[in-house]
Amino acid sequence: MSAAAPTARSSFALLGVVQAVLVFTIMILTVPLPLVARELGLGPSEVLLLSAAYGLSFAALLLSGGRLADRHGGRGTLRCGLVLLAAASVSCALAPGYPVLLAGRFVQGAGAALTAPAAAAVVRRLYPEPAAYRRAMASWGGLSVIGATTGSVVSGAVAAVVSWRWLFAVPVLVALAGLARSGSLPAPAPAGRRPALDLRGAALATTGLCATSYALVASTDHGWRNAEVLAPLAAGLLLLLAFAGAERRTADPLLPPGFLADRPRATALVAVMATSAGTALAFVLLSLYLQQLRGWSAAGTSAAFLPYAAALLLSGRLAGPLTARFGPVPVTAAGLALEGAGLALLAGIDPAGSYATGLLPGLLLLPAGAAASFAGAAVLATGGVAPERTGLAAGVLNTAMELGPTAGLAALMALAATRPTTVGGYAVAFAAAAAGLALTAVAVSALSGSGGTASTTTTPERTTRIKESTP
């Protein structure tokens, strides 16, 4: 490597910032959404679709993005994704009204779906040695929650001081920086047999995930008996069933059926979904609680999460070394338990209580657990994957991160709605999420006695299993 070329560490840092900003961009309208609605004159259904647009296209297209990264190389796919992200972000910032802003958010999500798995594929090229790659993925796993936290903390303050439109400058600048440095990133591996595109599978997966995700999001506003929820939910599930059937008959499937049959990987993906659902629940419910029930401003609400952000940054720096020292299974299980304890503390939410004693303890425990859980689960979910399937593994991992909050919030908000008071509903939702994380921690712990740690290495036997499940 020449002196002018960036080191692997600096390239990883750049890619890490890109990954964090992809999730940051999901959250930038969460806190200032009421301000956006007032400025643009939006109704409830328009607010609902605007809040979900980025996540819908991001989650729905991740499998296709992973396939493109594996087929064409991470660097080229990364460039395409960053161009889409930058162009869509500019259109969002300058949007004269709702249609342009909505379309921009959908395109942003599409750009992110190309960028996320491509960035992970480049990381695999940066760290070809299994041990170095495991350490890199332990750090990579916590980047999403850092991005989400930063987005929630920064968005309220920026919207209050200047305008929510300035928030879109962040993905523009990061995308431009990534494009400027992309030529120095590792080139794709020598072309062997490229996987086919599987257009039928991509169409079924994309439409199925999009319809199902929309139904889950809409259920929080319309309830489960509304046709606006039941129709897309039924259509989405049927499309996903058709996708599963088609993948078994396709010579080169988008998602090989055996890929999710690996127990450590499947358990890790459940842990990712549970962790991301728990963190999303805390942000959504506490933002509503502080602004609607306690009368806090958007800036004050963002400030309330500053201790959360500080705890997350500290624990994120520790999670990688802890995973390398103790292994991904115990770190993931401990993280799930710790996050569950934080949510259990938040279940004691009381309008008469103070922030320092009622919310702060949970806001410190929850991020510490989430950082550890994401770090360990990322290693488990990507361990043992052949280099030519890195994009697929990253796409599946990011899909779990997106579907966790969508499905988890839908179920937990429906549970909260069964209580006669808002605060009582929030308490039940926090308690149920804590219980779910505790059960997931038990499931992850059971991997210790079943050879689950083998998932962290690319052993010949495990590589053979994976290759046999893929064409």
Q: What is the pLDDT of residue 193?
A: 60
Q: How confident is the model over 28-69, as pLDDT tens digits?
A: 887 788 889 989 999 887 888 898 899 889 988 998 998 888
* Cα–Cα distance measured from residue 338 to residue 115, given in angstroms and rounded to the nearest whole number: 31
Other C-beta atoms closer than 10 Å to the C-beta of 421 total: 9
pLDDT band at 363 (very low <50, low <70, confident <90, very high): very high
Q: What is the pLDDT of residue 267?
A: 94
Q: What is the pLDDT of residue 371?
A: 92
Q: What is the pLDDT of residue 75?
A: 85
pTM: 0.84
Which of 121-130, 193-202, 217-226 is predicted most confidently? Answer: 121-130
Q: What is the pLDDT of residue 6?
A: 52
Structure tokens at 69: 């990264």
Q: What is the pLDDT of residue 463?
A: 40
Q: Which CA distances in Å does 405 have to 59, 111, 133, 298, 431?
A: 11, 20, 27, 22, 16
Q: What is the pLDDT of residue 51?
A: 85
Q: How confident is the model over 86-106, as pLDDT tens digits?
A: 999 999 999 999 999 999 999
Contact status, residue 148 vs residue 402, Cβ threshold 8 Å:
no
Start-end of H helices in 297-389: 298-304, 306-326, 328-346, 355-358, 360-382
Q: What is the pLDDT of residue 191?
A: 52
Q: How confident is the model over 279-324, as pLDDT tens digits?
A: 989 988 998 899 888 988 877 888 898 899 899 889 988 888 899 8
The answer, yes or no, to whether residue 418 has pLDDT greater than 70, is yes
Lowest-confidence range among 70-74, 82-86, 90-94? 70-74
**Selection from 331, 360, 346 nearest residue 268 by Cα:** 331
Please, which residues have CB within 8 angstroms of residue 74's CB and are 6 or more apart in sequence?
A: 117, 118, 119, 120, 121, 122, 124, 125, 185, 188, 390, 391
pLDDT band at 362 (very low <50, low <70, confident <90, very high): very high
Q: What is the pLDDT of residue 454?
A: 41
The residue whose two tokens read 């939910």 is 233
**More confident of the two residues 250 and 279:** 279
pLDDT band at 458 (very low <50, low <70, confident <90, very high): very low
Q: What mean pLDDT value characterizes the chain? A: 86
The answer, yes or no, to whether residue 430 has pLDDT greater than 50, is yes
pLDDT band at 251 (very low <50, low <70, confident <90, very high): confident
**Selection from 115, 123, 124 nearest residue 24 by Cα:** 115
pLDDT above 90 covers a percentage of the chain that reads 42
Q: What is the pLDDT of residue 26?
A: 87
Q: What is the pLDDT of residue 5?
A: 39
Find the distance separating the first CA and the last CA of the chain, reported in whole Å.
Answer: 35
Q: What is the pLDDT of residue 413?
A: 87
**Selection from 439, 272, 423, 455 nearest residue 359 by Cα:** 423
The answer, yes or no, to whether residue 246 has pLDDT greater than 60, is yes
* Cα–Cα distance measured from residue 238 to residue 258, given in angstroms and rounded to the nearest whole number: 21
Long-range CB contacts (< 8 A, 24+ apart) of 415-422?
Answer: 416/285, 417/223, 422/293
The answer, yes or no, to whether residue 462 has pLDDT greater than 80, is no
